[in-house]
């Protein structure tokens, strides 16, 4: 059977692109394919499968940025071997310079992060971004086929990177309906009691890294100040960590929101917390897809999202009142939260159908569609490996 090589930082189940890459690897291995992984780490479930081989790449100082050179070098070495046997090679963005299949989860050219801190820190961030842009541009323009995780990402690849639209296809992410599901009343109450949330009061949840402003927590915090001033009693649970976390904690305390906002840090039980919440707040400034929002919808939890998020493409008309069109506008975000609160009973009924519909698209169905797209793009990878970027 055709051997496959998948190149990524991690193949684990913790979320985002790692979860999607894990799902594809497991699907291919489950079909009996010979699967090779070039990565820093992989989940034990994958490594226990006889037909899965991990080629571990070094990760100096536990840095993904420093480790990217080792991912690229080792990835190209194994790509040459797999291609020589008629196999297929799947890389992510600019992480490995090989011209076969490129699965894009994030487009660096589509968003310029806002970096806080010293001038040196901002200069380093800019230097890193230029390296990512060069690697991304070279890899995507040379790929046989580019697979995007949303129509928004597909448009970004064409518009900002210059890839011809005929070579870019969209395959939406999937889910695990056994793990990502609505909670029973008893489960919801137990989770809330465990983490100290009010049993009957409204709880909104924000999930995202707090190391930069991409997830837009600054606007969320400003909106919660407005809501608190208007007497709305809604607890905000913040799941995530990052360099700016202490600053946000201090600002919340100064604004008198210490009892209204629970900073919970990184949580392995994020899926359970999402199920126990009443609404998710996710007005990201840039979001190629938004797996946490997708999982909230699958769990029967409505989500207030920015119109620029890829996952917004999968919102039914009944949820369009939850979409924020100016993600940096705290007043608009507060208005969307108030609108949800006023129609929460209707929204809860709509969410039952939304959950059932989205949960029908499993990770295996996503992977099956990807394989069809790849196979329709041509036979074995017969292009030569590209030169390693400088």
The stretch 32-39 carries a mean pLDDT of 97
Position 381 scores a pLDDT of 44
Average pLDDT across the chain, whole number: 93
Asked if residue 174 lies in contact with residue 21, where contact means CB atoms within 8 angstroms, the answer is no
The stretch 288-308 carries a mean pLDDT of 96
Position 390 scores a pLDDT of 37
Position 162 scores a pLDDT of 96
- Environment class of 319 (CB within 10 Å of its CB; exposed 0-12, middle 13-18, buried 19+): buried
Least confident among 50-54, 81-85, 197-201, 384-388: 384-388
Least confident among 120-129, 223-232, 263-272, 307-316: 120-129
From CA 228, how far away is CA 239, in angstroms rounded?
Answer: 20
Look at residues 275, 319, 323, 316 and name the one whose alpha carbon lies nearest to residue 295.
Answer: 275
Backbone angles phi, psi at 182, to 5 degrees: -65, 150
pTM: 0.91
The stretch 2-11 carries a mean pLDDT of 96
From CA 271, how far away is CA 269, in angstroms rounded?
Answer: 5
Structure-model confidence comparison of residues 370 and 122, the more confident one: 370
Using one digit for the tens of pLDDT, what is the confidence trace for 76-115?
A: 999 999 999 999 999 999 999 999 999 999 999 999 987 7
pLDDT-based confidence at residue 385 (cuts at 50, 70, 90): very low
Backbone torsion region of residue 256, taken as left when φ is above 0, otherwise alpha when ψ lies between -120 and 50, otherwise beta: left
pLDDT-based confidence at residue 297 (cuts at 50, 70, 90): very high
- Gyration radius of the chain over CA positions: 21
Position 15 scores a pLDDT of 76
Look at residues 137, 139, 131, 172 and name the one whose alpha carbon lies nearest to residue 154.
Answer: 172
Q: H or E stretch including 389?
A: none
CA atoms within a 13 Å half-sphere pointing along the CA-CB vector of 370: 31
DSSP string, 313-334: GG--GGGGGGEESSTT-HHHHH
DSSP state of 388: P
The stretch 145-168 carries a mean pLDDT of 97
Structure-model confidence comparison of residues 115 and 42, the more confident one: 42
The stretch 176-202 carries a mean pLDDT of 93
Least confident among 250-254, 278-282, 315-319: 315-319
Provide the sign of the torsion angle of the four alpha carbons 55, 103, 1, 364, taken in this order: positive
Position 16 scores a pLDDT of 84
Position 384 scores a pLDDT of 44
From CA 347, how far away is CA 279, in angstroms rounded?
Answer: 10
Position 116 scores a pLDDT of 67
State the Cα torsion 122-128-132-134 to the nearest 10°: 100
Position 389 scores a pLDDT of 43
Position 334 scores a pLDDT of 96
Q: How much of the chain exceeds pLDDT 70, in percent? A: 96
Backbone torsion region of residue 231, taken as left when φ is above 0, otherwise alpha when ψ lies between -120 and 50, otherwise beta: left
The stretch 130-144 carries a mean pLDDT of 96
Cβ neighbors of 160 (< 8 A, separation 6 or more) are 107, 109, 110
Asked if residue 101 lies in contact with residue 28, where contact means CB atoms within 8 angstroms, the answer is no
Backbone angles phi, psi at 389, to 5 degrees: -65, 155
């Amino acid at each position: 059977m055709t051997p496959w090589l998948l190149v990524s930082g991690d193949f684990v189940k913790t979320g985002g692109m790692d979860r999607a890459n894990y799902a594809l690897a497991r699907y291919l291995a489950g079909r009996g394919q010979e699967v090779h992984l070039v990565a820093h780490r992989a989940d034990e479930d994958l490594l226990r499968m006889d037909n899965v081989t991990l080629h571990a790449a070094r990760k100096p100082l536990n840095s993904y940025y420093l480790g990217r050179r080792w991912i690229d070098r080792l990835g190209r070495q194994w790509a040459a071997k797999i291609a020589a046997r008629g196999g297929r090679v799947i890389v992510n963005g600019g992480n490995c310079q090989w011209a076969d299949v490129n699965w894009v989860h994030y487009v660096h050219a589509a968003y310029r992060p806002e970096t806080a801190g010293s001038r040196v820190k901002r200069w380093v961030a800019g230097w890193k971004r230029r390296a990512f842009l060069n690697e991304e541009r070279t890899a995507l323009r040379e790929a046989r086929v580019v697979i995007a995780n949303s129509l928004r990402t597909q448009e970004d690849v064409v518009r900002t990177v210059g890839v011809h639209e005929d070579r870019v296809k969209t395959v939406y992410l999937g889910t695990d309906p056994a793990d990502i599901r609505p909670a029973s009343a008893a489960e919801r109450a137990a989770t809330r009691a465990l983490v100290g949330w009010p049993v009957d009061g409204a709880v909104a949840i924000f999930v995202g890294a707090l190391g930069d402003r991409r997830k837009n927590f600054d606007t969320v915090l400003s909106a919660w100040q407005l809501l608190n001033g208007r007497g709305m009693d809604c607890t905000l649970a913040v799941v995530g960590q990052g360099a700016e976390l202490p600053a946000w904690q201090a600002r919340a305390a100064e604004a008198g929101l210490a009892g209204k906002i629970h900073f919970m840090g990184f949580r392995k039980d994020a899926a359970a917390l999402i199920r126990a919440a009443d609404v998710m707040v996710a007005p990201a400034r840039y979001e190629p897809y938004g797996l946490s929002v997708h999982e909230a919808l699958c769990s029967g939890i409505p989500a207030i999202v920015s119109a620029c998020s890829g996952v917004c493409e999968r919102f039914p008309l009944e949820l369009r009142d939850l979409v924020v069109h100016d993600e940096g506008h705290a007043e608009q975000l507060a208005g969307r939260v108030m609108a949800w609160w006023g129609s929460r009973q209707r929204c809860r009924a709509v969410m039952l159908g939304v959950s059932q519909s989205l949960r029908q698209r499993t990770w295996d169905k996503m992977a099956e569609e990807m394989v069809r797209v790849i196979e329709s793009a041509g036979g074995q990878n017969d292009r030569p490996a590209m030169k390693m970027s400088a």
